[in-house]
Amino acid sequence: MTVDTIVYSADGRTPWEDPAAARDADGTTWVRVVDPPADALDEVADAYDIHPLEIEDALGNVRPKVEEFDDHTFVLVKDATLRRGDVTFAEELRVLQTAFFLGDDWLVTVEPQRVEAIETVWERVNREEPRLASRGADFTAYRCIDHVVDDYFSILDDIEDDIEAVEDEVVDAAGGDVLERINDLRRDLLSVRRLLWPTREAVGVLARGDPVQISEDTEKYYRDVYDHLVQLVELVETYRDLTSGARDIYLNALSMSTNDVMKKLTVVATVILPLTFVAGVYGMNFGGSPVNMPELGWQYGYPAVMVGMGAMAGILLVYFRQENWL
């Protein structure tokens, strides 16, 4: 576990040893807790009046949400990244969460596992980027959430590439695993949607400026993130529709393939079976009477039969060619 505390303002930034004491320092206080053991947050929770149920949610596995408490707002969001090459689906979509406790001039963040998006903002605050330093805790929380939401765009870009790859393959219905891959894509989209819906709902609360900690100015920024989330949710729905379309085309290609196979079989049977029958006729052993198979003894009997059979086959093949069966 690491607990880092910084107090910053337009004038500069000061790292702080004791997170509890930093609450009342001049400027904006950010206490960042990464990878805490189960019971290690008691001190910080006490100093910032955080309820045990909030701590439980921050460390547990719950849906993204916003809850307003007496003197702070609790925000929980989930960062997601898609890792390729893994086998199990659960490992592929890596979901990490961050809890924000947003007070008037302080922010406590808790990451059960280090989140890249938060790391980025932390480093910017520590490098005293002017835009961040001169604004309050609500703006810093916005920057973090913005980075988290941007990660979803990368995931959907990846999924879009996959959909395009799958679409190129469905037409010939060759590999039987195309449907499984489509199903996996739908599954990914399902998971992403389950993350996006409550996130959109939660950011909507912030964008409407319900919590008192969100200043009117920062509200506009939350509205921007909210727009992104609406767009992401739409993308997910669109991609699900595209995968449905790909699946339909695939299944149709399979039906057409079966139809083609049946046509080939029918052509072969229709051409060969009558010829075999004719050959069978002239293999019969009738005799002893002038009307019993006199053809067998005709001078050009055999060539005539062969030519006849060739003509029969030829006519049938031409017919099937015209019917587009060949």
CB of residue 12 vs Mg ion: minimum separation in angstroms?
38
Binding to Mg ion, residues 218-277 (CB under 5 A): 231
124 binds, among Mg ion, its own copies, none (CB under 5 to 8 A by kind): none
Tokens 């609450």 sit on residue: 23
In terms of CB distance, is 22 or 206 closer to its own copies?
A: 206
120 binds, among Mg ion, its own copies, none (CB under 5 to 8 A by kind): none
What Cα–Cα distance (Å) separates residue 280 from each residue in 158, 223, 274, 277, 285? Answer: 64, 85, 10, 5, 10
- What's the rounded Cα separation, in Å, for the pair 28 and 8? 5
The one-letter amino acid at 102: L
- What's the rounded Cα separation, in Å, for the pair 141 and 213? 11
In terms of CB distance, is 44 or 163 closer to its own copies?
A: 163
300 binds, among its own copies, Mg ion, none (CB under 5 to 8 A by kind): its own copies
CB of residue 163 vs Mg ion: minimum separation in angstroms?
6
In terms of CB distance, is 82 or 246 closer to its own copies?
A: 246
**Nearest Cα residue to 229 out of 206, 250, 199:** 199
CB of residue 240 vs Mg ion: minimum separation in angstroms?
12
CB of residue 112 vs Mg ion: minimum separation in angstroms?
15
Tokens 């910032």 sit on residue: 48
Binding to Mg ion, residues 87-146 (CB under 5 A): none
Q: Could you say whether residue 193 binds Mg ion (CB under 5 A)?
A: no
249 binds, among its own copies, Mg ion, none (CB under 5 to 8 A by kind): its own copies
289 binds, among its own copies, Mg ion, none (CB under 5 to 8 A by kind): its own copies
CB of residue 156 vs Mg ion: minimum separation in angstroms?
6
Q: Is 20 exposed, middle or buried (0-12, 13-18, 19+ CB in 10 A)?
A: middle
- What's the rounded Cα separation, in Å, for the pair 236 and 192? 8
The one-letter amino acid at 39: D
In terms of CB distance, is 34 or 102 closer to its own copies?
A: 102
Q: Is 312 exposed, middle or buried (0-12, 13-18, 19+ CB in 10 A)?
A: middle
Number of residues that make up the chain: 326
Maximum alpha-carbon separation in the chain: 126
CB of residue 9 vs its own copies: minimum separation in angstroms?
22
160 binds, among Mg ion, its own copies, none (CB under 5 to 8 A by kind): Mg ion
CB of residue 173 vs Mg ion: minimum separation in angstroms?
15
According to CB under 5 A, which one of 28, 97, 98, 191 is a site residue for Mg ion? 191
- What's the rounded Cα separation, in Å, for the pair 260 and 304? 34
Q: How far apart are the first and last CA of the chain?
A: 71
According to CB under 5 A, which one of 20, 40, 51, 63 is a site residue for Mg ion? 63
Binding to Mg ion, residues 150-189 (CB under 5 A): 157, 160, 184, 188
Q: Which residue intervals of 171-215 are DSSP H helices?
A: 178-207
- What's the rounded Cα separation, in Å, for the pair 75 and 202? 8
In terms of CB distance, is 2 or 257 closer to its own copies?
A: 257
CB of residue 177 vs its own copies: minimum separation in angstroms?
9
Cβ neighbour number for residue 10 with a 10 Å cutoff: 11
Residue nearest to Mg ion (CB): 184
Which residues make up the interface to Mg ion (CB under 5 A)?
A: 63, 157, 160, 184, 188, 191, 231
